[in-house]
A = this chain, B = another copy of it.
Amino acid sequence: MERIERHACFGGWQDVYQHQSAVLGCEMRFAAYLPPQAQVQACPVIYWLSGLTCNEQNFITKAGAQQYAAAHGVILIAPDTSPRGDKVADDDAYDLGQGAGFYVNALQEPWNSHYRMYDYIVSELPTLVEAHLPATEKRSIFGHSMGGHGALMIGLRNASRYCSLSAFSPIVAPSQVPWGRKAFMAYLGDDKATWAQYDTIHLLDEAASIPPILVDVGTADPFLHDQLKPSLLADICDKKQHKYTLRLHDGYDHSYYFISSFVGEHIAFHAQNLK
């Protein structure tokens, strides 16, 4: 694991690391914000999963999250969204292949040789972080759009590993919407029982209890009705009597301007649950 970027930021360090991933079979990068507190003690970690087309840079350059991590003494880890490189299968479309891993373990050719983002996020990445950075084993997870799907899905399937889950503009029902159906068909094949294991709505329906969940969506999000469908999240949580917070923000869209406006509240929510 090699550090390839380091910038002073809000009294801490915004770093980028590069490492050979055994799970993904390629070289990967992830960003790590170390708050000032990490210079003297191990800190809990919040994982950020980005959306379609993003890599490890988008969140750290655009979200303005470091100031809140510094205030609360939490580490922020932002990985890439797929395996990368010339030897990794890809597709011309923005919503399949590199930049669009959908946080699943692929079963279908040609994707199954590298696309194992589920295992990378759940196991390999935290193992690396906890071995090499001043991190405790307290974890929370959040993300945006495809990464909001990833954060909720991974958090629900591994509830003992994450203290809290949150998402901006998440794809909550990938089995039911165009982005998710396209990706799941390509990566997983047509077995709907396999899809269900990566679908937040299904996981909420199966869960006896869930970690604290916060979801923010903008009413001016162009993907709201066709791809995100947050009302499905509300419906299933109400039906199952799961506690959750879903907020609709008037006039906000799908961009990092929306994320930056509320990321401070998400980090405060996770910091509270990480205590």
Residues of A whose CB lies within 8 Å of any CB of B are 7-11, 14, 61-62, 64, 66-67, 218, 220, 249-253, 255-258, 260-261
Min CB gap A43→B, angstroms = 19
| Bound-complex Cα distance A62 to B63 (A) | 8
CB proximity of A219 to chain B, nearest CB, Å: 9
State whether A257 and B220 are in contact (beta carbons under 8 Å apart), knowing that A61-B61, A61-B62, A62-B62 are contacts in the complex. no
Output the least CB separation between A6 and chain B (Å).
9
Listed residue (A61, A220, A256, A258) with the most chain B CB atoms within 10 angstroms of its CB: A61
Number of copies: 2
Could you list 6 examples of A-B contacts with CB < 8 Å? A7-B253, A7-B258, A8-B218, A8-B220, A8-B250, A64-B67
Closest residue of chain B to A9 (Cβ to Cβ) is B257
Q: Who on chain B is nearest to A261 by CB?
A: B10
Query: Chain B residues with Cβ under 8 A from A260's Cβ?
Result: 9-10, 64, 66-67
| A8 engages B64 (CB within 8 Å) | no
Report the minimum CB–CB distance from A242 to chain B (whole Å). 29
In the complex formed, the residue of B with least CB distance to A13 is B251
Contact check, A261 vs B8: say whether CB atoms are below 8 A apart.
yes
Contacts of A251 in B (CB 8 A): 8
Q: Which residue of B lies closest to A12 (CB)?
A: B261
When the two chains form their complex, are residues B8 and A258 in contact, meaning their CB atoms are under 8 A apart? yes
Q: Which 5 A-B pairs give the minimum distances between C-beta atoms?
A: A64-B64, A7-B257, A9-B257, A8-B251, A8-B252
- Judge whether A261 and B62 touch: CB under 8 Å: no
* A218, chain B: closest CB distance, angstroms: 7
B residues near A14, Cβ cutoff 8 Å: 257
Task: Give A66 to B67 CA distance when docked, in angstroms.
Answer: 14
A74 CB to closest chain B CB (Å) equals: 17
A256 touches which one: B10, B61, B258 (CB < 8 A)?
B61
For A64, list chain B residues within 8 Å (CB). 64, 67, 260
Q: List, in ascending order, chain B residues with CB within 8 A of A9's CB.
A: 257-258, 260-261
Note all chain B residues with C-beta closer than 8 A to A257. 7-9, 14, 66
- In the complex, A256 Cα to B7 Cα: how many Å? 9
Q: How far is the CA of A93 from the CA of B161 in the complex (A)?
A: 51
Q: Considering residues A218, A252, A261, which has the most beta carbons from chain B within 10 angstroms of its beta carbon?
A: A261
**Nearest CB on B from A12, distance (A):** 10
